[in-house]
Amino acid sequence: MKQKKIALILFLAFALLAIWACSATEDITGSNETPETPVYIDDLTTGLPNYNSIILSWTAPEGALEYDIRYSSSAIDTSNWDSAEQVDDEPTPQDEGEIEIYRLEGLTDTTEYYIAMKFRTDATTWSGLSNVAICYTAPFDSRNKIVFHSYVDDNYELFMIDSDGSNLRRLTDNYSTDGNPVWTYDGRSIVFYSCRDGNFQIYMLDIVAETETNISDNSYSEVHPHCSFAGAVMALRTDAYGSTENIMTMNLDGTNRTVRTFYDSDTAANAPKFSADGTKIAFYADFGSSGFGICTMDADGSDFVRLTDGTFSAGSPDWSPDGTKILYESSWEGNNEIYVMDADGNNHVNLTNNSAFDGSASWSPDGTKIAFASSRDGADYEIYIMDADGSNVVQITDNDYDDNRPSWSPLY
């Protein structure tokens, strides 16, 4: 019996020693292991949604050489990852632990988006799928936005900016002139002229969808469009009739083209502008020997009235929102200034009254302010805002390019 007890004690001792040895080995091995590289990003977040962009942020993982960011308007998982839209300008990974920030652009307004990402650690190894972040883009809102053209890259391109000078955004980027942008009645698109197809044509740019369409699509020269805020109709200058420029109206899809003036080679009409209710068009015309004049007519071309005579040049008219006044530019006092007159041609008032060039004026939709171009900073043309009486002038662009032809969104 004594021998059996001794054997049992020895067995238990050896068993306890073996258990201790295994535990010690596991502890030592665990303390010396190199931590594994994270297999996926788990803190992808979204914020500050705009109508066409979302800010993404995450923590840079260890060993990342490249990111692959994808998005979709439906849920993303490993089964449909390959079919999700891939971003083509992902940022270069920063050092491990740094906060990455990236603006995902080119999105559609008022849409739910799912965003996920992977990262590459060597030539062939990609991480697992990150957490999926969800965000809604905001509705497009053009209130207090102004479009204009600027002479960059050796030609005119289109830009958009808030009336306080913030959120500058380039809208076109090509080898050809894009000029004289104006808003459509819904405040979602702009029309402008461009010679990208070999001759000047009228185009429409859907700002949200970022699509451009040649509306004119013909062999004539057509420029200086303006949209009626009362409906889907625009007026423009065309050489489609006779041997000079005339005013034409057409639908925003290019249909129902109708010439409204019928001048011969001695007269040319330009820069038509609809009144806010769409019933009248103001424009300026070169009457040859009798000079330039601001004119109005009904939208169908009837009831023509010349408001200014040839004693001074005048151009670029723009109706006040209530239809009672017309802005125009003129150099009749020695240099180009912005004037306002009653819609019947009376009571001319100089609003700018300085030694610089001031022109291309555009009313705000509530009639309280005016956007215009000026060379008063001494270097080039910039966009300015002033009160309707000419006071409180504020510069909203400041660069090394000529900025001109501002147009205020009709929404407020």
Last residue of a domain, one of 81, 116, 136: 136
| Whether residues 167 and 90 fall in one domain | no
CA pseudo-torsion sign 301, 305, 309, 315: negative
29 pLDDT higher than 50: no
pLDDT score at 208: 83
| Whether residues 260 and 310 fall in one domain | yes
Query: Among 297, 260, 183, which Cα is nearest to 229's?
Result: 183
Q: Give the CATH number for residue 288.
A: 2.120.10.30
Number of domains in the chain: 2
**Residue ranges making up the domain that contains 85:** 45-136
Residue 258: CB atoms within 10 A of its CB come to 12
Give 121's pLDDT tier (boundaries 50, 70, 90).
very high
pLDDT tens profile 212-237: 999 999 999 999 999 998 888 999 99
Average pLDDT over residues 267-285: 93
Instruction: Name the pTM for this structure.
Output: 0.76
Average pLDDT over residues 160-168: 94
Query: Among 273, 291, 292, which Cα is nearest to 224's?
Result: 273
From 6-15, 105-114, 163-172, the region with the lowest mean pLDDT: 6-15
In a domain, residue 224? The reply is yes
Per-position b or e across 153-180, b if 16+ CB within 10 A of its CB? eebbbbbbbebeeeeeeebbeeeebbbb
Q: How far apart are CA 340 and CA 176, in angstroms?
A: 34
In a domain, residue 272? The reply is yes
403 pLDDT higher than 90: yes
| Whether residues 123 and 158 fall in one domain | no
Last residue of a domain, one of 105, 136, 167: 136
31 pLDDT higher than 60: no
Q: Give the CATH number for residue 96.
A: 2.60.40.10
pLDDT score at 38: 56
Give 243's pLDDT tier (boundaries 50, 70, 90).
confident
Last residue of a domain, one of 87, 111, 136: 136
pLDDT score at 181: 97
